Amino acid sequence: MTQSSKGTALITGASSGIGAIYADRLARQGYDLILVARNKARLDEVAKRLGDETGRAVETVAADLGNKADLARIEEVLRTDASITALVNNAGFGATAPLLDTSVDKMEEMITLNVSALTRLTYAAVPGFAARGTGTIINIASIVGIVPEVLNGVYGGSKAFVLAFTLSLQKELADTGIRVQAVLPGATATEFWGNAGTPLEHVPSEIVMSAENMVDAALAGLELGEKVTIPSLPDVGDWEAYEAARHKLMPNLSLNKPASRYRLGAST
Ligand code: NAP
């Protein structure tokens, strides 16, 4: 028998990898789905399988989220479909090469998808969620958001944005009934790596997690109420200490005089 619906989850980048696993897991949790990516044939394949296996309603919308008009269509869906109770901002791509070996046009394309599209989709979803007093936003960031030295710097910067934006939303939306989670996957076994310029086989297997384990851990983290989930981090206390160190800086980050180490004397 089909479980009662938890509403509809709109998942971007659901044609492969992490997004396709979110689709699978959320359908099994009782969500109907709207799956978004560019490749319609792959989306339809995921939708058919999940529809058959779970009995949930699964719709697909082909859209290039780097294209303003396509993005606007998805924003409109989020603004007008009151059945939507969850948004998984997952579509994104990365690069492994440094500045000297990458084109700025490709980097701008990355910012457009990883940052601008995610921002616009969030802006489209939040007012309805707030009005209805419920909703879940899962933003797929990356560990490179906190260690940007590891891969391409623009990719790291784009994921640092996702983390910072999510932390801010958690504060802004605290009393609205909306859950907002940032997920920071480490290396995950998907097509991401080949597309980013490093074949997955070249990544040491001891640092690569399956997409299934990554998503299952992230969803478990969501249920635990984690605002930030790092699926492989053994001791959550390490993240809490990192956050505590950041907050400890807060009282001194904006003062009316420079620090004494700059030896500027009394200001005039
Ligand atoms: P993936 O298998 O390459 O999936 C990327 C998804 O995004 C695909 O469904 C792709 O579908 C979609 N997409 C790409 N460009 C798009 C566009 N312009 N418009 C709409 N959809 C687009 O890689 P993945 O690992 O699952 O990546 C998912 C997310 O996880 C990304 O945000 C990535 O940065 C993040 N992440 C991945 C890793 C990792 O090691 N794999 C680690 C940390 C974070 P179409 O090609 O059909 O459009």
The CATH number covering residue 124 comes to 3.40.50.720
Residue 159 counted as domain residue: yes
What pLDDT was estimated at residue 43? 98
Residue 267 counted as domain residue: no
Note down pLDDT in tens along the chain; length 268 residues: 556 789 999 999 999 999 999 999 999 999 999 999 999 999 999 999 999 999 999 999 999 999 999 999 999 999 999 999 999 999 999 999 999 999 999 999 999 999 999 999 999 999 999 999 999 999 999 999 999 999 999 999 999 999 999 999 999 999 999 999 999 999 999 999 999 999 999 999 999 999 999 999 999 999 999 999 999 999 999 999 999 999 999 999 999 999 999 999 755 4
Of residues 22, 123, 155, 242, which has the active-site annotation?
155
The closest of 136, 122, 21, 22 to 71, measured between CA atoms, is: 122
Q: Which pair of structure tokens corresponds to residue 119?
A: 């921002």
Q: ∠ CA(185), CA(186), CA(189), 5° rounding?
A: 95
Residue 242 counted as domain residue: no
pLDDT, one tens digit per residue, over 246-265 is 999 999 999 999 999 999 97
Contact 181, 226 (CB under 8 A): yes
Residue 258 counted as domain residue: no
Residue 170 counted as domain residue: yes
Residue whose CA is at the smallest distance from ligand 1 atom 12: 13
The rounded Å distance from CA 104 to ligand 1 centre is: 20
CA distance linking residue 256 with residue 88, whole number of Å: 41
Pocket test for ligand 1, best of 24, 42, 90 (most atoms within 8 A of CB): 90
What pLDDT was estimated at residue 55? 98
Q: Does 31 qualify as catalytic in the annotation?
A: no
* CB-defined site of ligand 1, < 6 Å: 12-19, 37-39, 42, 64-66, 90-94, 113, 140, 142, 185, 187-188, 190-192, 195
Length of the chain, please?
A: 268
What pLDDT was estimated at residue 265? 74
Residue 94 counted as domain residue: yes
Pocket test for ligand 1, best of 188, 201, 230 (most atoms within 8 A of CB): 188
Residue 244 counted as domain residue: no
What pLDDT was estimated at residue 5? 84
The rounded Å distance from CA 13 to ligand 1 centre is: 5
What pLDDT was estimated at residue 258? 97
Residue 247 counted as domain residue: no
Provide the b/e sequence for 183-221 (b: ≥16 CB within 10 Å): bbbbbbbbebbeebebebeeeeeeebbebeebbebbbeb
What pLDDT was estimated at residue 4? 73
The closest of 63, 61, 51, 62 to 24, measured between CA atoms, is: 51
Domains in the chain: how many in total? 1
Residue whose CA is at the smallest distance from ligand 1 atom 44: 142
Quick one: DSSP state of residue 147?
-
Quick one: DSSP state of residue 248?
H
What is the extent of the structural domain holding 214?
8-236
CB count in 10 Å sphere of residue 51: 17
Q: What is the pTM of this model?
A: 0.97
